[in-house]
Structures are given as C-alpha cells and as structure tokens.
Amino acid sequence: MIPLSTTEPAPPTLWSDFLDFLARAGWNALTVAGILVGALIITWILRIVIHRVVARIVSGAKSKANVDDTQALERSPLASVRLVQRTRTLGSILQNIVGVTVAIVAILLTINVLAPTALGSLTLLTAAIGAGLGFGAQNIVKDVLNGIFIVAEDQVGIGDVVDLGLASGIVEYVSVRVTHVRDVNGTLWYVRNGEITRIGNLSQGWSRVIVDLSIPVDADIDEVEKILLDTARTLAKDAKWRTRILEQPEVWGLESISGDALVIRLVMKTRANAKDDVARELRMRLKRALDEAGVTLPALNTIMPSGIEGAQRVRGANPPKTKPTAVTPPPAASRPVWKPKRTSKTAPPTGDDPKATP
C-alpha cells in the first residue's frame, strides 16, 4: 500500500498579516465614516423637521391674528402669543436634545466598531466613572432637570420679561441647562436653571398699571378723583390704546395722608406686554388734566403710601421690634485748664498802698 502524501498549509507570512490588518482597518474606517455621516444626516434632518414645525405653528398663529410680524401679535389673544413663545422655546430645547443624543449614540457605535469587547469589559470601570461623575456633576443634573420642568410647565418663554432673582430682563434663549436674559442696560446674563429658585414672569396673563398721585391737602378729593377717572376712561376709549387695556380703570381712593400731600391711587388692567407704554401715556394725560383743572402738584422728595408697599403689618402679623441698645456715653475727658503761673517773689508795692513806705 502506497501511503498518501499529506500537504500541510503554508504558515502565514508577514505580508498576509499586514494585508489582513489593512482590510480590517479599512472596513472599520468605512464603518466609522458611515456612522459619522449618518449621525450628521440624522441631526440635519431632525433639525429641519423641528424648524419647519416651529415655523408652521408660528405662521399659523400669525395668520389667525391677521398680522405679518410676531411683534404685532400683541393685538391677538394672549394664547397666541404664549403659543409662539413656548413653541420657539421647545424648538430650541429639542434641537439641543437631538444633537446631544445623536452624538452619544454615534460615539458608542464607533467604540463598538473599533473595540467590540471594550464596552463589555469596561462595565465596572464605566459604572465607577459614572458614579464619580454623578457626585461631581450634581449641579449639571440639577440644571437639566430644573430646565426641563421650567419649559414643560411654561414658566418661561423666549421674549418674556422675567425677574429671576439673579437677573431681570428679556429672555433671549432657553436651553436645558442655561437661560439667557438681556437686561435693560443690554447686558446678557447666563443664568443656570438650577440656580433659579423663583420666577417672576411679567409677560403672562395681564398686568396692572398703578399710579399713586399726590395732591395738595386742601384739594377737593371728590373733584380730583372725578378728573382722574375721566382721564383714564378717555384713554381706555382711544382707538390707539383700547386694544391694550383689558378693563375699565378704577380709583381705589385715598392711600395715605401726610402733612404735605394726599396720595390717591388709580389702577388700570392692561395686557402684560403693554403695561409700561400705557403707564407713560396715562401719567402724561393725568398731568395735563390736573394742570387744566388748576390743581398744583406738591413738590415732595418722597411719598410713602400706606398700601401694601409701605405696610407695617400684613394680615395682623406685626414685624418684630427690638428695643434700641442703650449706649452709655463715655466719661468726659478732663481738659487741662490754663492757670497763670504764680511766682514766689512779692510784687513791689504801689503808691496807692497806704502801707507802702516812702
């Protein structure tokens, strides 16, 4: 029997190993490039979709109000204004969320392609790193959670006039972590959402114009109140201003009495974003009406109304009062008294002295 000859496979050479490495590296590079390109395309598509949805909602609100620009929505119902502001705020936040989410997914897929066993083998290390970052990034997590609740509850919207405690002004941008507020001086404040403990929104619902007017103590209160009310009602009926005024003005009466003046309060309910304009026009008309009636406004440095602004007690609760600390004046320091210096020598007798010797 003739033994069969067996052929052994040729051992791998350095060149074949190099070619295999190049092939794997090329496929990995193509896969990573595909992941990155796909992430960019997905982000671009989602941003376009969000932008178009926001634009469609805003244009729909404008068409219903029959206006051309967003500022003119002051003449539309307040719900339309809030809809536009909230839609733009949610659109900016969704764009941020989309960008961060797609970036994280692309990074994980890239790591899985380059090192398939890295994610599984580094599970414990990743958990430890995550725990450490959780303790170190508590402020970031707090900012994000607070920002989500602020937007979800419609507490703040782009274009609102707000008082955040840390800054006050117009909201220009709202993200998940930071809110941008432009104050009256033009300074742009970056307020972390986690640091916001209270929000005063001056653009939601309605506002109230409060005018405290001081008059002389000898003026006829009834006549002055009639002049103020008639002037305010004339403003409310004006074609230019009636769309910004929600209710008829009211005179709340005498707010405070002092030896120099009487303070009468006039109030008017207006749209939230028209309060300042209506207040300026109302003060100007009141001044002209009082001048025509011959009522001279007293020249006072300060006026302290007895309303809620200057209240010393609220609902019967008196503020705590402390007795002044007695201060004992220091003893008066003994001042040196000048005295003429006495000499031991006796002055020579004068001629008028009867005891003087000739």
The per-residue pLDDT for range 281-308, each reduced to its tens digit, is 999 999 999 888 888 887 654 444 444 4
Please report how the helices 221-237 and 275-293 are oriented relative to each other, as an axis angle in degrees rounded to 10: 130
Query: What phi and psi values does residue 253 have, to the nearest 5 degrees?
Result: 100, -160
- The residue written with tokens 């707090």 in the block is 142
Instruction: Give the tokens for residue 33.
Output: 């490039």
Question: 1-45, pLDDT tens digit by residue?
Answer: 455 555 555 455 777 767 777 777 788 788 888 888 888 898 889
Whether the CB-CB separation of 201 and 208 falls below 8 Å is answered with no
Task: Return d(Cα 126, Cα 68) in angstroms, integer.
Answer: 53
**Around 112, how many Cα atoms within 13 Å sit in the side-chain half-sphere?**
9
- Is residue 320 predicted with pLDDT exceeding 50? no
Q: Which residues contact 207 (CB under 8 A, 6 or more apart)?
A: 269, 270, 271, 272, 274, 275
CATH class of the 206-293 domain in this structure: alpha beta
Instruction: Give the tokens for residue 152.
Output: 């979800």
pLDDT of the residue at 348: 52
Using CA atoms, how far residue 175 sits from 100, 202, 309, in Å, is 12, 20, 35
Give the number of other CB atoms < 10 A from CB of residue 219: 20
Angle at 32 between CA 27 and CA 35, to 5 degrees: 125
CATH number for the segment(s) 136-204: 2.30.30.60
The residue length of the chain stands at: 358
Most confident by average pLDDT, 61-70, 110-119, 241-250, 344-353: 241-250
**Around 150, how many Cα atoms within 13 Å sit in the side-chain half-sphere?**
29
Helix ranges restricted to H, 271-317? 275-293
The residue-averaged pLDDT of 47-64 equals 76
Give the number of other CB atoms < 10 A from CB of residue 90: 20
Which of 62-71, 93-102, 281-290 shows the lowest per-residue confidence on average (mean pLDDT)? Answer: 62-71
Q: How confident is the model at residue 233 (pLDDT cuts 50, 70, 90)?
A: very high
Question: 193-211, pLDDT tens digit by residue?
Answer: 888 888 888 887 788 899 9
Q: In the chain, what are the domain boundaries?
A: 24-119, 136-204, 206-293
Task: Return d(Cα 203, Cα 75) in angstroms, integer.
Answer: 14
- Which helix (H) or strand (E) is 178 found in, with range? strand 178-182
Matching CATH topology for 136-204 and 206-293? no
Give the number of other CB atoms < 10 A from CB of residue 240: 8
